[in-house]
Amino acid sequence: MRIGSIVFDVRDFEGMVRFWSGAMHYVPREPPSDGWVVLSDPSGRGPNISINRDEDVRPLISRLHLDLYTVEQEAEVSRLIGLGATLHRSPEHGEDFVVLADPEGNLFCVVDATAE
pLDDT tier for residue 23 given thresholds of 50, 70 and 90? very high
Q: What is the mean pLDDT of the chain?
A: 90
Residue 86 confidence (pLDDT) above 60: yes
For residue 33, how many other CB atoms are within 10 A of its CB? 8
Residue 104 confidence (pLDDT) above 80: yes
Q: Is the pTM of this model over 0.85?
A: no
Residue 9 CB partners (closer than 8 Å, separation 6+)? 52, 54, 57
Pick 1-55's CATH classification: 3.40.50.1950, 1.10.230.10, 3.30.720.120, 2.40.420.20: 3.30.720.120
With a pLDDT cut of 90, the percent of the chain lying above it is 66
CATH of domain 64-116: 3.10.180.10
**pLDDT score recorded for residue 91:** 82
For the chain, where do the domains classified as CATH 3.30.720.120 start and end?
1-55
